[in-house]
Amino acid sequence: MLIVNAEIDGRGGRAVRVENGLVVAVGAGPGDNPRPGAAEDVVDARGGMLLPGLHDHHLHLLALAAVASSVPAGPPAVRTAAELAAALRAAARPGGWVRAVGYHESVAGDLDRAALDAIVGDVPVRLQHRSGALWIVNSPALAALRAAGERDGAGAGGALPADGRLFRSDERLGRLLGLAGAGGGVELADLAVVGARLAGYGVTGLTDATATTGPAQVTTLRGALETGALPQRLLLTGPPGVDVAGASVSPGRLRLGPVKIVLDDGQPVDLDELAETVLAARRRARRVAVHCVTRLQLALALAGFDAAGGTLPGDRIEHAAVLPPDLLDAVVAAGLTIVTQPHFLAERGDAYLADVDPDDLPWLYRCAGPIAAGVPLAAGTDAPFGGDDPWASMRAAVHRAAPSGRVLGPDETLTAARALELYLGDPADPGGPPRRVVAGTPADLCLLAEPRRAVLADLDPGPAVLTMVDGTVVHHGR
């Protein structure tokens, strides 16, 4: 393929030749561009911006795919207890399960089994908190899960809680749902819908940041790559022992990334066990990515790295949702990378203003401060726990406005060009130098309808004109 009349790095009239999955030639401009070959497909960019495909450095693919068969249970779709009851009751079907996602306490308080029973008590319901950390089930669901556990040889993971609140239990819940005939898995068709939508944004690479990824999840994701249902490149986190061997996909389409560690306030943390997990990653030549959404979690992560003998280049903090100056100094000293989610301010900013400790508000999802301090900073959408549009994430990094319009952390805003770079880092080096369209690089490309100046004016370019992964067109827009 030859792409002509493209704008690259702000210079128009340029041509790019793609062969065998690589960019093999990039012209400097009119008079110095490769000419079309006899059997070559030619795409006229019409002055549009051509850039490397975006990489989402933190999302949860299988959970995102499962949203298609789920009921929204929190803002903005559901804001009151009455709306929640209406949504759950409308989805209830005899003999079927209701899967609801995105719940927040602002809707109807802290739910438990009894509260769900009062809303829907005749069919099994499982409802996920928007943090992704908690599932709540009603009595029919709890009874079905207990019966499944007994058939499974009872006892794996201990007794299910009587209040129906299952904390950090995704792996166990998925197994029991399968045994209960509740369809806990994700179909390739669901992943195909997700892959196509992300390709429309110009996304060519994904880092799945799920901590509980195991053999069953790897098999599903590998199948999606092998069949083309998922067209992007994929970097997997997960536990130290996760394995991706045996995938019959082109080199570089499926790779292992850092080991994911989740820390939660209110849950005991054994520093020796945390250090051992870090060392287990080291023994497998993997880096570590630690989930940190509070001051305490970040402090524990830093202590865990110290207990394991320190950090290595490429170790990451996921979210860094609260990053006060003293902890930023510690992150700098440790040489850590941050992968953050500025769009949570646009999606949840008013809830933060109401619920977050005032001392923490200035330090939420910082951008400019870490960059100025020399911290490599990248972004990911955290979809489905945040919106999956990376351009919305970039806009939030520029404006940092809550839905009400109030700006959170005005000193943390980025320029549009710098916000775009949050999604242009190498997947193995998020926050590092942005990838560029140059000869010898993989042909993972995104062509937009407008030139760079127009794109950066509002960071809302609409669907990509063309998205390529490994030299193959995976999206063709207007």
Same domain, 261 and 365: yes
What are the residue ranges of helices labelled H in 228-342? 271-283, 295-307, 325-334
Q: Are residues 372 and 272 in the same domain?
A: yes
In this structure, are 141 and 202 located in the same domain? no
Query: Can you tell me whether residue 159 is helix, strand or coil?
Result: coil
Name residue 202's beta-bridge partners. none
**Sequential DSSP letters for 348-397:** HHHHHHHHS-TTTGGGBT--HHHHHTT--EEE---TTSS-S-HHHHHHHH
Bridge partners (DSSP) of residue 59 are: 208
Crossing angle for the helix pair 295-307 and 271-283, to the nearest 10 degrees: 60
pLDDT 10s digit of each residue in the chain, 478 long? 999 999 999 999 999 999 999 999 999 888 888 888 888 999 999 999 999 999 999 999 999 998 888 899 999 899 999 999 999 999 988 878 999 999 999 999 999 999 999 999 999 999 999 888 899 999 999 999 998 887 655 445 578 999 999 998 888 888 888 767 666 667 788 999 999 999 999 999 999 999 999 988 999 999 999 999 999 999 999 999 998 876 667 778 999 999 999 998 878 889 999 999 999 999 999 999 999 999 999 999 999 999 999 999 999 999 999 999 999 999 999 999 999 999 999 999 999 999 999 999 999 999 999 999 999 999 999 999 999 999 999 999 999 999 999 999 999 999 999 999 999 999 999 999 999 999 999 999 999 999 999 999 999 999 999 999 999 999 998 6
Range of the domain at 91: 65-179
Nearest Cα to 34, choosing from 18, 45, 53?
18
CATH code for position 126: 3.10.310.70
Domain boundary pick from 179, 213, 245: 179
Q: For the chain, how many structural domains are there in total?
A: 3
CB 195 within 8 A of CB 188: no
Instruction: Note whether 391 and 414 are same-domain residues.
Output: yes
C-alpha count within 13 angstroms, C-beta hemisphere, residue 7: 15
Q: Which of 93, 94, 154, 97 is nearest to 125 (CA)?
A: 97
pLDDT at 350: 95
Spatial separation of the C-alpha atoms in residues 74 and 80, rounded to whole Å: 8
pLDDT value at residue 128: 93
The candidate with the shortest Cα–Cα distance to 238, out of 60, 404, 473, 377, is: 60
Residue found by looking up tokens 């990039």 in the block: 26
Omega within 30 of 0 (cis) for the link into 384 = yes
d(CA 246, CA 218): 11
How many Cα atoms occupy the beta-carbon half-sphere of 44 within 13 Å?
Answer: 1
| CATH number of domain containing 202 | 3.20.20.140
CA angle 153, 158, 160 (to 5 degrees): 100
Query: Looking at residue 67, what DSSP letter applies?
Result: G
Q: Per residue in 126-147, is it b (16+ CB within 10 Å) or e — as a string?
A: bbbbbebbbbbbbbbbbebbee
> Which residues have a Cβ under 8 Å from the Cβ of 264 and sit 6 or more positions away?
133, 167, 168, 297
| The pLDDT of residue 398 | 98
The span from the CA of 345 to the CA of 297, in Å, is 20
User: Does residue 328 share a domain with residue 471?
Assistant: no
Q: Is 91 helix (H, G, I), strand (E, B) or coil?
A: helix
- Could you give phi then psi for residue 467, rounded to 5 degrees? -125, 130
Residue from 252, 214, 216 nearest 235 by CA: 252
Tell me, yes or no, whether 99 and 30 share the same domain: no
State the alpha helices, DSSP H only, in 166-214.
Answer: 170-179, 188-201
**Do 251 and 347 lie in a common domain?**
yes
Can you give the pLDDT at residue 207?
98
Judge if 263 and 192 occupy the same domain: yes
CA dist 450 and 456 (Å) reads 10
Say if residue 235 is in the same domain as residue 160: no
Q: Are 25 and 39 in a shared domain?
A: yes
Cα distance between residue 215 and residue 151, in whole Å: 22
Q: Are residues 427 and 326 in the same domain?
A: yes
Q: What token pair was written down for 245? A: 């061997």
Amino acid identity, position 255? R
Q: How many residues does the chain have?
A: 478
Same domain, 460 and 317: no
CATH code for position 18: 2.30.40.10
